[in-house]
Amino acid sequence: MPTKKTLELKEFNLDDLRNELAETEGQYHKMTFDHATKGLENPLALREVRRDVARLKTEVRRRELGELTENQLAKRSKTRARRRK
């Protein structure tokens, strides 16, 4: 069952997703630096932000794969099959 955050991401367009991803990654890097230097009040916030980054990357990749042509998908399938061996 998709979470509320995942459902919200489906409403964004691809450019908004990429901008949100860049902002969230920047926020995560800042939080990790702050946590290493002075500590965070709630270190579990790092986990939430890291998971948000993963959600964003997943949605961006899903949309990129959805835009591929049949030839590109066939080539991708061959590459994936070759890697499995």
pLDDT at position 20 is 93
- The tokens for 45 are 């916030």
Q: What is the mean pLDDT of each run of 10 residues along the chain (85 residues)?
A: 79 92 96 94 94 94 91 87 83
The contacts of residue 78 (CB under 8 Å, 6+ apart) are: none
Global model pTM greater than 0.85: no
* CA nearest to 64, candidates 35, 8, 28, 21: 21
Domain formed by 6-84, architecture: Orthogonal Bundle (1.10)
Tell me the one-letter amino acid at 52.
D
Domain locations in the chain? 6-84
- Per the CB < 8 A criterion, the answer to whether 23 and 49 are in contact is no
